Amino acid sequence: MSGPLTDAVRSDLRLWLAQRASAAVLAACVVVHLALIIYAVRGGLSAAAILGRTHGSLVWLGFYLVFIAAVAVHAPIGLRQIVREMTGWRGRSLDAVAAVFAALLVVLGVRAVWGLFA
Amino acid sequence: MSDAPALSVKVWRGREDGAFQEFAVPQRANQTVLDVVTWIQRHLDPTLSYRFACRVGMCGSCAMTVNGRPRWTCRTQVTVVAGDGGLSLAPLANLPVIKDLATDMTAFFEKWQRAGGRFRPTGTRADEFASVPPGTPERRAADAGIECIGCGVCHAACDIVRWNPDYLGPAALNRAWTLVNDVRDAGGEARLAAVAGDAGCHACHSTESCREHCPKHINPTAAIAGLKRATTVALLKGRL
Amino acid sequence: MNLSGHRAHASYGAFVVHRLSGLALAVFLPAHFWALGTAIEGAATLDGFLKWTDQPLVKLAEIGLVVLLAAHFAGGVRLLALEFLGWRAWQKTAVAASAGFSLAAGLLFLLNLGL
């Protein structure tokens, strides 16, 4: 440990910063995603229409991988904070559950993106 | 004495476990809630415990919960807050209750110390007077928060304090921010470390109940945001 | 949920909306990824799922999700501005603007559904 922060406080600070940084990334991603959804839903959705756009597109692959990474940071930290404030649950076990949720989002997210790209 | 119906006033009696006791108080023109409490104690029940001092909105001693909101009772007009249901008076939230309407403010002031809310001087009597231009951004930031008189209203209004008893709270953090911006102060990284983390500024969710209720119109949310920025910069520069 | 007394003001409402919308989105996301992941099994499976979403109740839920996402986004932008730009004078206007943005997004979505 260097500097005046304890390890616990340093960890708090890093989580807070990760939450804000991922929020900034998500702000950009969400604008694109909302615009896309609102546009794409005209005339109904079909697999052909969606896959036609995403299949083989490195741009969409890259965009959604960044989106998934940011969500996998942002959502678990947010949920963990809600649980810590509204229930008595805190400590290592809660941190572990949050990490598992993050992993779940990455796995399911990458699977979905791959399904649309490949 | 007016012919208006008596005001129904429910007053908390006891400690954390206790109950509301109802009194009927004659209504008068220009009555403050402090007038009402004082009337009850002098005419109906001398065992009622409450605090006040200046009674003119300068000391903050009379702060308590009036119809669900923390206020200074000496500056709260009965006609403004009473409504049909009358008055409900309880001690300030988020502090231990000594008796009835009086709380133990020790924890509130201890948080002030833990947040590094004490001025750390750099000058000596051999130095010239410190020159502090009033128009600089730092001085304006400090000036926005130095009128705090430690009444505890913001601390009582804050739900983060309610959910996290370790949270330093708006008043202590606001004070720390005024000192961070004081060019004469030597608090430095130690104070930033003191206000960081889950018990510090990073627990604030900007619900702004503090700003909403502060009788001095101070904005602790803005001060806490300043601390968030200052600690972030210090962390990223490797100073924390 | 108690929103009375010291909680009865705009910024507290914004906090509640931000927290609840975040919670709802976090619960929704794994299901969203799972559904899209059916595309791995081919276009036909994805089409089958998309047909299921054609029901009015599902469409209503989708509108709700768009509004929740827009609300969480707008509230989040307000927070980032408050914390990093020290933006003060526009607080209440920002809350109102966030609410307006969310409803606008939901409405646009609704209109584009052709309903």
Query: ∠ CA C14-B166-B231 to the nearest 5 degrees?
Result: 70
CA distance A104 to B3: 70
Residue C25: list chain A partners with CB under 8 A.
75
**Confidence at residue B173, expressed as pLDDT on a 0 to 100 scale:** 98
The predicted structure's pLDDT at residue C101: 82
Does residue A90 lie within any of the structural domains? yes
Does residue A112 belong to any structural domain of this protein? Answer: yes
Q: How far is CA B23 from CA B11, B26, B27, B29, B66, in A?
A: 8, 10, 12, 19, 15
Using a CB–CB cutoff of 8 Å, tell me whether C54 touches chain A.
Answer: yes
Q: Is residue B2 part of a domain?
A: no
Domains and their CATH numbers in chain C: 11-112 (1.20.1300.10)
Confidence of residue B2 (pLDDT cuts 50, 70, 90): low
Same domain, B160 and B190: yes
pLDDT for the residue numbered B73 = 98
How many domains, in total, are found in chain B? 2
Evaluate whether residue A80 is within a structural domain: yes
Q: Which residue of B has its CA nearest to C17?
A: B207
Domain of residue B186 covers 106-236
Q: Of B103, B138, B160, which closes a domain? A: B103
Shared domain check, B84 and B26: yes
Residues of chain C found within 8 Å of residue B157, distances taken between Cβ atoms: 6
Quick one: closest CA in A to C66, which residue? A34
Query: What CATH number has the domain bearing residue A38?
Result: 1.20.1300.10
Structure tokens at B239: 């100073």
Mean per-residue pLDDT of chain B: 95
**Contact yes or no for A4 and B163 at CB 8 A:** no
Is residue C30 within 8 angstroms of chain A, CB to CB?
Answer: yes
Judge: B69–C5 Cβ closer than 8 Å, yes or no: yes
A2 belongs to a structural domain: no
Q: Which residues contact B159 (CB under 8 A, 6 or more apart)?
A: B207, B209, C7, C12
Question: According to the model, what pLDDT value does residue A88 have?
Answer: 87
Task: Test B240 with A12 for CB contact under 8 angstroms.
Answer: no
In angstroms, the CA B18 to CA B21 distance is: 9
Q: Which residue of B has its CA nearest to A11?
A: B197
For chain A, the domain total comes to 1
In a domain, B146, yes or no: yes
> Which chain B residues in 147-166 lie under 8 Å from chain A, judged by CB atoms?
160, 163-164
The reply to whether B209 touches chain C by the CB within 8 Å rule is yes
Q: Which chains touch A (3 or more CB pairs under 8 A)?
A: B, C
pLDDT in tens, C68-115: 999 999 999 989 999 998 766 666 677 778 778 888 877 787 777 765
Residue A24 forms part of a structural domain: yes
Per-residue pLDDT of C44-65, as tens digits, reads: 887 888 888 888 888 888 889 9
pTM, to two decimals:
0.93
Task: Tell me the one-letter amino acid at B240.
Answer: L
Substitution target from C15, C38, C46 for chain A, most A beta carbons within 10 A: C46
Residues of chain A positioned with their CB less than 8 A from the CB of C113: 41
Residue B91 has pLDDT above 70, yes or no: yes
Do both B141 and B222 map to the same domain?
yes
- The average pLDDT across B110-135 equals 94
Nearest CA in chain C to B68: C5
Decide if A51 touches C, using CB distance below 8 A: yes
Residues B116 and B213 in one domain: yes
In angstroms, the CA B48 to CA B95 distance is 19
Same domain, B98 and B26: yes
Closest CB to B197: pick one of A13, A85, A86: A13
C chain contacts of residue A106, beta-carbon cutoff 8 Å: none
Contact A86/C at CB under 8 A:
no
Do the domain assignments include residue B52?
Answer: yes
Q: Is residue B185 part of a domain?
A: yes
- Does A45 have pLDDT greater than 80? no
Span B173-190, average pLDDT: 96
Within a domain: A1: no
**Which one of A12, A85, A86 has the shortest CB-CB distance to B197?**
A12
Here the tokens at position C47 are 């089409």
Residue B103 pLDDT grade (very low, low, confident, very high; cuts 50, 70, 90): very high
Residue of B nearest to A2 (CA): B240
- B131 inside domain: yes
Contacts with A13 from chain B: Cβ below 8 Å: 196-197, 202, 231-232, 235, 240
> Could you give the ipTM of this predicted complex?
0.91
- DSSP assignment string, A34-60: HHHHHHHTTT---HHHHHHHHTT-HHH
| Residue-wise pLDDT tens digits, A66-105 | 999 999 999 999 999 999 999 989 999 999 999 999 999 9
CATH of the domain at B45: 3.10.20.30
User: Distance between CA atoms of C112 and A43, rounded to whole angstroms?
Assistant: 8
Distance from CA of C21 to the nearest CA of B (A): 15
The residue-averaged pLDDT of B185-197 equals: 95
Is residue B1, in this structure, part of any structural domain at all?
no
**The predicted structure's pLDDT at residue A66:** 97
B207 touches chain C (CB under 8 A): yes
Domain co-membership, B51 together with B169? no
> At B223, which helix (H) or strand (E)?
helix B220-236
Strand ranges inside B39-95, DSSP E: 63-66, 69-72, 87-90
Please tell me whether residues B194 and B115 are part of one structural domain. yes
| B119 and B145, same domain (yes or no) | yes
pLDDT of the residue at A1: 44
* Residues B79, B119 within the same domain: no
Q: Does residue B87 sit in the same domain as residue B205?
A: no
The CATH number of residue B159's host domain is 1.10.1060.10
- Beta-carbon contacts below 8 Å between B and C: 52
| Pairing relationship of beta strands B7-14 and B87-90 according to DSSP bridges | parallel
Does residue A66 sit within a domain? yes
* One-character DSSP codes across C17-50: HHHHHHHHHHHHHHHHHHHHHGGGG-HHHHHHHH
Does B137 lie in the same domain as B222? yes
For residue A53, give its domain range.
Answer: 7-117
On whether both B80 and B34 belong to a single domain, the answer is yes
Answer whether C112 touches A (CB < 8 Å).
yes
| pLDDT tens for each residue of B32-79 | 999 999 999 999 999 999 999 999 999 999 999 999 999 999 999 999
User: Inter-chain contact C79–B206, Cβ cutoff 8 Å?
Assistant: yes
Nearest to B164 among A5, A8, A85 (CB): A85
